[in-house]
Amino acid sequence: MEVVSMLRHRARPRFEADPRVRLTPLVDLREDSSDAVDPRLREPAVVFPAAEKRYRQYSRLTDVRAEEHLRGCTADVIIGTRPGVNVYLARFGPRRALRIAQEHLTHDAHSTRLRADLARHYAGLDAVVTTTEADAAVYRARMPLPGVRVLAVPNIVPEPPVPPSYGGATVIAAAGRLVRGKRLDLLIDAFRQVAGRYPEWTLRIYGAGPERERLKELIGERGLDGRARLMGARSPIETEFAQAAIVASASSAESFGMTLAEAMRRGVPVVSTNCPLGPAEIITPGVDGLLVPVGDGQALVDALLALVSDETARRRMGQAALVSARRFDPGPIVSRYEELFGELVQSRNVREWRRHSARWRRRLHHVLRR
């Protein structure tokens, strides 16, 4: 197995890799590397789509290296993990291999221009895999891809190496990028009401981002200094969740909801907005957590108070969360991918026929319109 890194920033990877996995960086950005003085590094990318959010991080050198690597790739299955990389895969990936695009964002998170680019390139792939059934349905409805299998496979959330929460703490935790879309301001306001009735409870917010100073000021304005704390980024986050009694999310949108699954893996019930698209597929309301409408501060207060005030319910939901989170174990999800690979091999000729038929229908329709 090989993991290809588009850009290399450091001497050692941030995460430890199994020795059986080969790590291959394509462009080395370290100051002492030969790539750092390659003039193509300062030329804008031509293949990587300009509408992709990370376009400025890529270059003509990235285009060239991606093409060279993919054209020489001998793998049976190649999986891209973000839209621009999926375009590389569609353009340069060997046709004999299964070429699969993973979507870790969502269809509606992409601009109209990027969606048009992706529709053109995704049409030549074998499959598009989203993290939620809801997003897969959006792709099927708004980006028809004849001959391309569109399905959902959730992220793997492995068993953490820390004991689960015992449920008796007086801590509400939240984690994620400190950005406006996470609506941590709404959570802080909701916690203010919780803290007014239960002064022994605290709020811990984990993460880093551009909203840190604004959130720090808001905590002071709400009189929550020492009660609500910005803890910074932590990894693994499950270690912190295991010290909490509740994990909360007030996000406006999520492509999956990784922190919710990570909290449930440690037996912590979750309170989340029912935002598109992930939480409703992770949480079973009243069983392992609670869902509230997006942007509804009072509903968030009520849900938090329901669990803060009832330790028995917290423990019951926490135990249910431990059980339900097992569906994110590596084993079942790896099996789903193995089944997908087999299905794609068996259906290759049928899917190719559908692709060509759709192409000829479009051409005929264009001719008739003219």
The pLDDT of residue 258 is above 90 = yes
> For residue 302, is it within any domain?
yes
- Name the one residue in this structure whose structure tokens are 């964002």: 105
Strand order, beta sheet including 171-175: 228-232, 202-206, 171-175, 246-249, 270-273, 289-292
User: 13 pLDDT band (50/70/90 cuts)?
Assistant: confident
Indicate which CATH number applies to the domain containing 345: 3.40.50
Convert the pLDDT of each residue in 290-333 to its tens digit: 999 999 999 999 999 999 999 999 999 999 999 999 999 999 99
| 37 and 18, same domain (yes or no) | yes
Domain range for 93: 2-156+336-365
Give the whole-number percent of the chain exceeding pLDDT 90.
Answer: 90
User: Structure tokens of 39?
Assistant: 């003039």
> For residue 25, is it within any domain?
yes
Predicted confidence at residue 215, as pLDDT, reads 98
| 143 and 263, same domain (yes or no) | no
Query: What's the whole-number mean pLDDT along residues 64-73?
Result: 97
Q: Largest alpha-carbon pair distance within the chain?
A: 73
Predicted confidence at residue 15, as pLDDT, reads 81
User: 356 pLDDT band (50/70/90 cuts)?
Assistant: confident
Predicted confidence at residue 52, as pLDDT, reads 96
Contact predicate 263/247, CB 8 Å: yes
**Cβ contacts of residue 304 below 8 Å, gap of 6+?**
172, 190, 191, 194, 246, 248, 271
| 117 and 216, same domain (yes or no) | no
Query: What's the whole-number mean pLDDT along residues 75-96?
Result: 97
Predicted confidence at residue 369, as pLDDT, reads 80
Convert the pLDDT of each residue in 174-197 to its tens digit: 999 999 999 999 999 999 999 999
The pLDDT of residue 271 is above 90 = yes
Determine if the peptide bond prior to 277 is cis (ω within 30°). yes
Predicted confidence at residue 288, as pLDDT, reads 97
> For residue 292, is it within any domain?
yes
Residue 140's alpha-carbon distances to 118, 175, 282, 359, in angstroms, are: 13, 31, 21, 17
Strand partners, 247: 173, 270
> For residue 162, is it within any domain?
no
The pLDDT of residue 26 is above 80 = yes
Distance CA 244, CA 230 (A): 15
Q: Residue 105's closest CA among 141, 134, 130, 128?
A: 130
Predicted confidence at residue 195, as pLDDT, reads 97
> For residue 220, is it within any domain?
yes
Give the whole-number percent of the chain exceeding pLDDT 70.
Answer: 100
| 180 and 322, same domain (yes or no) | yes
Report the range of poorest mean pLDDT among 167-171, 188-192, 203-207, 362-366. 362-366
- Name the one residue in this structure whose structure tokens are 């899917």: 351
> For residue 26, is it within any domain?
yes
The pLDDT of residue 14 is above 90 = no
User: 166 pLDDT band (50/70/90 cuts)?
Assistant: confident
| 276 and 344, same domain (yes or no) | no
Count the domains in the chain.
2
Query: What's the whole-number mean pLDDT along residues 244-269?
Result: 96
Predicted confidence at residue 362, as pLDDT, reads 74
Predicted confidence at residue 361, as pLDDT, reads 76
Distance CA 212, CA 234 (A): 15
Predicted confidence at residue 337, as pLDDT, reads 97
Query: What's the whole-number mean pLDDT along residues 71-77?
Result: 96
The pLDDT of residue 5 is above 80 = yes
Q: Residue 344's closest CA among 166, 190, 125?
A: 125
Report the range of poorest mean pLDDT among 190-204, 264-278, 322-336, 348-362. 348-362
Query: What's the whole-number mean pLDDT along residues 146-158?
Result: 96
Indicate which CATH number applies to the domain containing 239: 3.40.50.2000
Predicted confidence at residue 168, as pLDDT, reads 87
| 237 and 359, same domain (yes or no) | no
Predicted confidence at residue 357, as pLDDT, reads 84
> For residue 370, is it within any domain?
no
Convert the pLDDT of each residue in 206-225 to its tens digit: 999 999 999 999 999 999 99
Predicted confidence at residue 79, as pLDDT, reads 98
Predicted confidence at residue 64, as pLDDT, reads 98
| 141 and 279, same domain (yes or no) | no
Q: What is the 3-state secondary structure (H, E, C) of the chain?
A: CEEEEEEECCCCCCCCCCCCCEEEEEEECCCCCHHHHCHHHHCECCCCCCCCCCHHHCEHHHHHHHHHHHHCCCCCEEEECCHHHHHHHHHHCCCCCEEEEEECCCHHHCCHHHHHHHHHHHCCCCEEEECCHHHHHHHHHHCCCCCCEEEECCCCCCCCCCCCCCCCCCEEEEECCCCHHHCHHHHHHHHHHHHHHCCCCEEEEECCCCCHHHHHHHHHHCCCCCCEEEEECCCCHHHHHCCCCEEEECCCCECCCHHHHHHHHCCCCEEEECCCECHHHHCCECCCEEEECCCCHHHHHHHHHHHHCCHHHHHHHHHHHHHHHHHHCHHHHHHHHHHHHHHHHHCHHHHHHHHHHHHHHHHHHHHHHC
The pLDDT of residue 358 is above 80 = no
What is the average pLDDT score of the chain?
95
